[in-house]
């Protein structure tokens, strides 16, 4: 094992790489969230207009896809982060410490995804 690359637990991925992967997943989740908001707004606006029935159905399907993508990618990011926050003192961590690590990773994932969604919305609209 290379001493310059700190390891997380007993796995093969360095901690820094886990954080980079989690951040990339949070950016992807933020993009899914923005797309979900867009397609949900389109679905709501186009409902009841007979001329736009095909677009309305398509918007509903896209909103559903992006909503589920947001949830799945967010859970994966939280799982990656939970390995970073793992307690290193005891090889067999207690249920309480595992629960706290998972709760912390979920909190960081939700906050990070929200922050990235804000930044992405500014970038996509053009910051003035």
CB distance 22 to 77 below 8 Å: yes
pLDDT band at 5 (very low <50, low <70, confident <90, very high): very low
How far is Cα 108 from Cα 99, in angstroms, rounded to an integer?
14
Mutual orientation of helices 95-125 and 53-84 as an angle, nearest 10°?
A: 130
Residue 77 pLDDT: 95
3-state secondary structure of 7: strand
CB distance 32 to 68 below 8 Å: no
> pLDDT tens across 103-120, in order?
999 999 999 999 999 999
pLDDT band at 2 (very low <50, low <70, confident <90, very high): very low
**Could you give the percent of the chain with pLDDT greater than 70?**
84
> pLDDT tens across 18-45, in order?
999 999 999 999 999 999 999 999 999 9
CB distance 101 to 79 below 8 Å: no
pTM of the model: 0.81
How far is Cα 99 from Cα 24, in angstroms, rounded to an integer?
24
> pLDDT tens across 74-83, in order?
999 999 998 8
Geometric angle at alpha carbon 36, from 75 and 59, rounded to 5°: 135
């Amino acid at each position: 094992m290379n001493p310059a690359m700190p390891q997380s637990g007993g796995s093969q991925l360095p901690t820094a790489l886990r954080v980079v992967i989690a951040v990339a997943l949070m950016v992807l989740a933020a993009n899914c969230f923005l797309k979900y908001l867009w397609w949900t707004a389109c679905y709501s606006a186009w409902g009841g207009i007979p001329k736009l029935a095909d677009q309305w159905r398509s918007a509903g399907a896209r909103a559903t896809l992006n909503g589920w993508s947001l949830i799945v990618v967010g859970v994966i990011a939280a799982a990656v982060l939970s390995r970073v926050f793992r307690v290193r003192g005891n090889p067999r961590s207690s249920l309480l410490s595992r629960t706290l690590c998972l709760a912390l990773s979920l909190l960081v994932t939700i906050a990070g995804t929200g922050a990235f969604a804000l930044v992405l919305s500014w970038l996509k609209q053009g910051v003035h």
